[in-house]
Amino acid sequence: MTEFQARQQLIDHARAMNALGINHGKAGNVSLRWDRSKTPEGAGLLITPSALAYDRLQPRDIVWVSMRPDPDLVATDSETLPDTPVFDGGRRASSEWRMHRDLLRARPELSAVVHTHSRHAAALSCLAKVQREGIPPFHYMIALSGASRIACAAYARFGTQALSEAMLDALAGGAMACLLAHHGLIAAGPDLPSALALAEEVEALAAMYAITLTLGGPAILENPAMDAVEQAFAAYRSGQAL
């Protein structure tokens, strides 16, 4: 795949978030690991630009962000926000570039990240109970997130390093998705289709959990039931018969 094709793929997946009904307007952002060379200087990611409608996006609008620490990225261009990395095309990277960069930097097995403001995940992320406990294992598909509970990252303002750190805490232990308090969800995967599919699944689970809460609260699948599901998923992914 060429960088141009990767940029187009990113645009297709960003538009798909809205088409699937798991995001709206200019909210959300999408990234894909993209190294420009095998040297540390070449390690980076492609990300959607900030505040640009997805149906207007062109491949040249996608922003390349280095994996290197922040001081190397600081833009001096007065058109851009301070400490926001820019691509040659001059677009500002999504305000959430820190979450995308830090997640891809921390988890080499993951190569794509999707952040959405999907309705039910965002609504649940505003409940104190969910902020404390996350979405518990009320349904076996919770295990698809890589953990037996979908945690909720503590609230921090959008676009901050504090939000990125809260997200990493919520994903500790190998989870690939979490809620972000008073905000939405973030999901990752080895490629864009997997990250988008997980974001869609987390939103579906959030909707189901919200319904069960209005019906008096779900029964919970405790261990060893969830352990068995996680083992079955591992076998399922590797193509073994269940």
Distance of CA 188 to the CA centre of its chain: 5
Q: Does 30 bind ligand 13P (CB under 6 A)?
A: no
Comparing CB distances to ligand 13P, the nearer of 26 and 105 is 26
Comparing CB distances to ligand 13P, the nearer of 148 and 164 is 164
Q: Does 29 bind ligand 13P (CB under 6 A)?
A: yes
Size of the site for ligand 13P (CB under 6 A): 11
Give min distance, CB of 166 to ligand 13P, in A.
13
Q: Is 3 a catalytic residue?
A: no
> Does residue 113 contact residue 138 with C-beta atoms inside 8 Å?
no
Residue among 84, 94, 118, 131 that touches ligand 13P (CB under 6 A) = 94
Residue among 6, 14, 16, 27 that touches ligand 13P (CB under 6 A) = 27
Catalytic residue among 3, 41, 79, 96: 96
Phi, then psi, of 185 in degrees rounded to 5: -140, 160
Binding site for ligand 13P (CB under 6 A): 26-29, 50-51, 94-96, 117, 158
